[in-house]
């Protein structure tokens, strides 16, 4: 793939951030698996354990991409991602599984899926290669997100958390996600990505019952 040096650097920074997101999802899914094992829910525990392994694989692929694009010199930081991480860590430390699934499998996975889909289109146009690996990662991300969407309401019923509480949490995590997009606007702008479109699509990925305007 032939890229302008500035665009190559921005793309590598984006992959660096995606790797950080995958490592967060890896760690969260591992802890979710332990929580489900403790509760005797072997089916959920198995899914989360498998997701944890897949997220680590994704992170390693993205790390290798950064090395290839920028010799590993494209580490990127996002303060709102750090805040997002602290919120998920708090939820998991408190055993708040429904909140952790909302934040991780529903919203965080949606962010990754949306960004990766946008990158994938550009990679295909530039004959980037690695088509099979890209397709595998996108399919796995979609599966993680679908699980979160389909099982979240069941988890809410099992943990007696109210719809109103989850609506507030949903808006909170969406607000943080939108702040991440705004903070990273220079990267997306250089790559020709439309962050307003990402924000709109992200909001539609949350189950209808948990959208703030349904309160």
Could you state, in order of their start, the residue ranges of all structural domains in the chain? 5-207
Q: Terminus-to-terminus CA distance in the chain, angstroms?
A: 48
Give yes or no for residue 73 having a pLDDT over 70. Answer: no
pLDDT band at 82 (very low <50, low <70, confident <90, very high): very high
pLDDT at 3: 43
- Judge whether 61 and 137 are in contact, CB under 8 Å: yes
Give yes or no for residue 128 having a pLDDT over 90. Answer: no
Nearest to 105, CA basis, from 200, 185, 207, 208:
207
CB burial of 18-29 (b: ≥16 within 10 Å; e: otherwise) equals: bbbbbbbbbbbb
Q: What is the pLDDT averaged over residues 190-212? A: 88
Q: What is the pLDDT averaged over residues 180-190? A: 91
Give yes or no for residue 13 having a pLDDT over 50. Answer: yes
pLDDT at 129: 52
Tell me what percent of the residues of the chain surpass a pLDDT of 90.
57
pLDDT band at 5 (very low <50, low <70, confident <90, very high): very low
pLDDT at 9: 81
Q: What is the pLDDT averaged over residues 166-187? A: 95
CATH superfamily of this structure's domain 5-207: Ferritin, core subunit, four-helix bundle (1.20.1260.10)
More confident residue, 21 or 215: 21
The 10s digit of each residue's pLDDT in 95-110 is: 999 999 999 999 999 9
Q: What is the pLDDT averaged over residues 123-144? A: 74
pTM of the model: 0.89
pLDDT band at 4 (very low <50, low <70, confident <90, very high): very low
- The CA–CA distances, whole Å, from 33 to 47, 59, 143, 170 equal 8, 19, 16, 22
Q: What is the pLDDT averaged over residues 78-88? A: 96
């Amino acid at each position: 793939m032939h890229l302008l040096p500035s665009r190559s650097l921005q793309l590598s920074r984006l992959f660096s951030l995606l790797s950080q997101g995958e490592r967060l999802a890896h760690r969260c899914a591992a802890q979710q698996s332990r929580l489900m094992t403790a509760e005797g829910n072997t089916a959920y525990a198995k899914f989360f354990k498998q997701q944890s392994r897949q997220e680590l694989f994704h992170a390693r692929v993205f790390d290798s991409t950064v090395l290839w694009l920028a010799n590993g010199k494209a580490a990127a930081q996002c303060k709102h991602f750090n805040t997002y991480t602290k919120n998920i860590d708090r939820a998991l430390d408190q055993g708040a599984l429904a909140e952790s699934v909302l934040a991780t499998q529903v919203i965080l996975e949606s962010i990754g899926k949306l960004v990766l889909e946008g990158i994938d289109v550009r990679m295909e146009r530039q004959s980037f290669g690695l088509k099979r690996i890209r397709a595998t990662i996108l399919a796995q991300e979609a599966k993680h997100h679908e699980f979160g969407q389909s099982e979240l309401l069941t988890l809410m019923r099992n943990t007696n958390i109210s719809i109103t509480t989850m609506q507030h949490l949903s808006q909170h995590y969406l607000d943080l996600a939108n702040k991440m997009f705004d903070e990273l606007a220079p990267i997306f702008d250089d790559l020709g990505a439309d962050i307003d479109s990402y924000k709109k699509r992200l909001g539609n990925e949350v189950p209808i019952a948990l959208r703030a305007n349904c309160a």
